[in-house]
């Protein structure tokens, strides 16, 4: 097989008219040749950090869409399913991913559960990590979110890190806002990347201290604009990732979109492609070709080096997508889950109080971090309730793994004027999380999730919509296009009910993510992510 075009040689920073010859899945020759083709041939894109589960698709369905956008590989942390099903969940992701051409590279989740302040469905300890690190299908130790454990020399955390070192596998970081001596010690432990930087200065410090910084642009967390100006000088030590990508966004594009935006800012295309294609392969030692003779034939054909519209995608020499059509076939799989809680009563969501002031989570659009506010309470019949006028709405996290009392908090900026939204995608433990204008609406939404053993939903007085997620309560068993359309309809309904957030369900899913400051809610209570301890909803003066 011979593919002709303008060949983009990233390593030597040159573009020439030529052709790529492929034999038995490998590139047998790259040579200059005269032809009339105006397209460009370059290595395929690699997402340097993603939780496939956040697309609500199993790996084989994710692959169907990603290849259309020129993605040939991912560096994937199966942390989400691991919190639900443990090592068994990781094994499911690996085996499902092997059945399609896209090159999934899974890591061993380092923090399951993410903290001891929430209820998860499983535990992965240092001995489990040892066995996983010895598995050639596990490429790295996934994001070490427990940075306090690193800083305070927690024995279990250090064992996990050592098992990765013993197997010469990279260790991913997760340390939002960590600076100074603390980040120096964190890096010294052997942690080599961070995708959580949300300011230029933070990312610059981490780069200067030897870390690789991954620019994240997902459905909720968007750090591209804050960090992209670092790329021209630090392109050898930066990568692109989506981290969490909802299905409707994935249908529109992937890493190709970030390349387009970076080039539009005037950044040298070779530097952009170094970050998008080359650096993840080299850092994680991936079995992914880089358009060199003898490499796996993993490459793409695009219309231009400005728009990056993908015309063809090849993986191991196989044409897997062409002109927006994916040739990745459907894969049958066993549905696994871990969901064991009974439906709730409206009274379960009451919060008896006489406090005039309450602590409120301030959700920030496009950010995982939140602020902590003090707001006036609204009390009706001794019960703290939502205030639509001030947009201080009641929120709950409900343990999905056993019957327990719901945890209650209040949140600002969701903007709902009616009804409630709920989800069993609640990072990191994936308990049920909901926000609404009344206890009745919240209860209805939570029970709809329970009835379906997982999903995302919206309810109001006249309508109920749910996208069921029967695979671990976080992924669908349906095709990507079907889920993408259904999720888009749900997103539309949430916005019609008043939400002004760009991705209300993605934002909702992170309101239980305790390892990101400042104020979050777990199934065990309101949590101060700055001091790393529980705090009270009521403010006593």
pLDDT bucket at 481, cuts 50 / 70 / 90? confident
In a shared domain, residues 223 and 282: yes
pLDDT bucket at 89, cuts 50 / 70 / 90? very high
In a shared domain, residues 491 and 357: yes
| H or E stretch at 325 | strand 325-326
Q: Which domain holds residue 470?
A: 346-539
Measure the CA–CA gap between 349 and 435, rounded to whole angstroms.
Answer: 11
In the predicted model, what is the mean pLDDT of residues 390-414?
Answer: 98
**What is the model's pLDDT at position 506?**
86
Average pLDDT, the chain: 96
Q: Which of 326, 354, 378 is the last residue of a domain?
A: 326
Q: Measure the CA angle with vertex 134, ends 130 and 137; round to 5°.
A: 120
Are the C-beta atoms of residues 286 and 103 closer than 8 Å to each other?
yes
Measure the CA–CA gap between 473 and 377, rounded to whole angstroms.
Answer: 34
Long-range contacts of 484-489 (CB under 8 A, 24+ apart): 484/65, 484/247, 484/248, 484/250, 484/251, 485/248, 487/56, 487/246, 487/247, 487/248, 487/456, 488/248, 489/465
In the predicted model, what is the mean pLDDT of residues 197-223?
Answer: 94
In a shared domain, residues 244 and 381: no
pLDDT exceeds cutoff 90 at 69: yes
Write down the pTM of the prediction: 0.93
> Does 331 reside within a domain?
no
**What is the model's pLDDT at position 368?**
84
pLDDT exceeds cutoff 90 at 447: yes
Cα–Cα separations (whole angstroms), residue 462 to 42, 147, 489: 51, 46, 16
**Which is nearest to 140 in space by CA: 173, 97, 110, 169?**
169
Number of other residues whose CB lies within 10 A of the CB of residue 307: 13
Domains of the chain: total: 2
> Does 52 reside within a domain?
yes
| H or E stretch at 17 | strand 14-23
> Does 337 reside within a domain?
no
Q: Which of 295, 326, 357 is the last residue of a domain?
A: 326
In a shared domain, residues 350 and 300: no
In a shared domain, residues 322 and 358: no
Which CATH number characterizes residue 186's domain?
3.20.20.140
For the chain, how big is the Rg over CA atoms in Å?
23
In a shared domain, residues 296 and 361: no
**What is the model's pLDDT at position 540?**
85
In a shared domain, residues 263 and 115: yes
In the predicted model, what is the mean pLDDT of residues 465-491?
Answer: 94
Q: Which alpha helices (DSSP H) does 369-438 contain, by range?
A: none
In a shared domain, residues 322 and 353: no
pLDDT bucket at 221, cuts 50 / 70 / 90? confident
In a shared domain, residues 289 and 409: no
> Does 318 reside within a domain?
yes
> Does 335 reside within a domain?
no
In the predicted model, what is the mean pLDDT of residues 128-140?
Answer: 98
Q: Which of 326, 359, 389 is the last residue of a domain?
A: 326
Residues 6+ positions from 530 with CB-CB distance below 8 Å = 517, 518
pLDDT bucket at 219, cuts 50 / 70 / 90? confident
> Does 280 reside within a domain?
yes
In a shared domain, residues 386 and 319: no
Token reading at 434: 């909901």
**What is the model's pLDDT at position 220?**
76
Cα–Cα separations (whole angstroms), residue 354 to 168, 242, 340, 378, 384: 57, 44, 34, 9, 8
**What is the model's pLDDT at position 114?**
85
**What is the model's pLDDT at position 515?**
83
pLDDT digits (tens, 9 = 90+) for 341-381: 999 999 999 999 999 999 999 999 988 889 999 999 999 99
> Does 341 reside within a domain?
no
In a shared domain, residues 285 and 391: no
In a shared domain, residues 234 and 367: no
pLDDT digits (tens, 9 = 90+) for 5-43: 999 999 999 999 999 999 999 999 999 999 999 999 999
> Does 339 reside within a domain?
no
**Which is nearest to 178 in space by CA: 143, 135, 158, 148?**
148
């Amino acid at each position: 097989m011979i593919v002709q075009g303008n060949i983009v040689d990233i390593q030597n920073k040159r573009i020439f008219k030529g052709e790529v010859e492929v034999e038995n899945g490998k590139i047998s020759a790259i040579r200059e040749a005269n032809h009339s083709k105006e397209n460009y041939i370059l290595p395929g894109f690699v997402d340097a950090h993603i939780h496939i589960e956040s697309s609500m698709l199993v790996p084989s369905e994710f692959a169907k869409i990603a290849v259309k956008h020129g993605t040939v590989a991912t560096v994937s942390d199966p942390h989400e399913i691991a919190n639900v099903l443990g090592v068994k969940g990781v094994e499911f992701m690996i085996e499902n991913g092997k059945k399609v051409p896209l090159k999934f590279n899974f890591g061993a989740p380092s923090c399951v559960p993410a903290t001891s302040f929430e209820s998860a469905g499983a535990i992965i300890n240092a001995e489990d990590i040892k066995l996983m690190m010895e598995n050639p299908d596990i490429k790295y130790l996934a994001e070490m979110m427990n940075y306090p454990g690193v800083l305070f020399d927690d024995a279990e955390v250090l064992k996990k890190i050592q098992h990765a070192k013993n197997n010469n596998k990279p260790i991913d970081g997760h340390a939002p806002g960590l600076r100074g001596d603390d980040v120096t010690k964190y890096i010294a432990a052997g942690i080599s990347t961070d995708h959580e930087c949300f300011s230029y200065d933070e990312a610059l410090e981490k780069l200067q201290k030897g870390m690789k910084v991954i620019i994240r642009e997902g459905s909720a967390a968007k750090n591209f604009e804050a960090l992209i100006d670092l790329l021209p000088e630090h392109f050898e030590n930066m990568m692109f990732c989506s981290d969490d990508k909802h299905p409707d966004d994935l249908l529109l594009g992937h890493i190709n979109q970030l390349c387009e935006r970076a080039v539009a800012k005037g950044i040298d295309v070779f530097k952009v492609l170094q970050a998008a294609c080359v650096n993840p392969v080299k850092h994680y030692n991936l079995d992914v070709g880089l358009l060199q003779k003898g490499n796996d034939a993993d490459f793409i054909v695009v219309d231009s080096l400005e728009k990056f519209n993908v015309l063809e995608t090849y993986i191991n020499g196989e044409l897997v997508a062409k002109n927006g059509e994916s040739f990745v076939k459907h894969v049958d799989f066993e549905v696994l889950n871990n969901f064991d809680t009974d439906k709730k009563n409206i009274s379960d969501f009451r919060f008896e109080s006489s406090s005039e002031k309450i602590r409120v989570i301030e959700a920030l659009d496009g950010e995982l971090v939140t602020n902590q506010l003090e707001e006036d309470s609204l009390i009706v019949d001794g019960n703290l309730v939502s205030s639509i006028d001030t947009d201080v709405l009641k929120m709950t996290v409900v343990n999905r793994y056993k019957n327990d009392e719901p945890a209650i908090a209040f949140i600002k900026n969701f903007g709902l004027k009616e009804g409630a939204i709920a989800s069993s995608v609640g990072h990191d433990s994936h308990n049920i999380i909901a926000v609404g204008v009344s206890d009745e609406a919240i209860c209805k939404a939570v029970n709809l999730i329970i009835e379906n053993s997982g999903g995302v939903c919206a309810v109001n007085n006249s309508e109920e919509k749910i996208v069921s997620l029967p695979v671990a309560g976080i992924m669908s068993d349906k095709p990507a296009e079907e889920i993408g359309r259904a999720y888009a309809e749900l997103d539309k309904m949430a916005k019609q009910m008043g939400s002004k957030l760009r991705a209300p369900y993605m934002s909702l899913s992170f309101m239980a993510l305790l390892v990101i400051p400042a104020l979050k809610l777990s199934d065990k209570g309101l949590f101060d992510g700055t001091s790393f301890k529980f705090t009270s909803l009521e403010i006593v003066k």
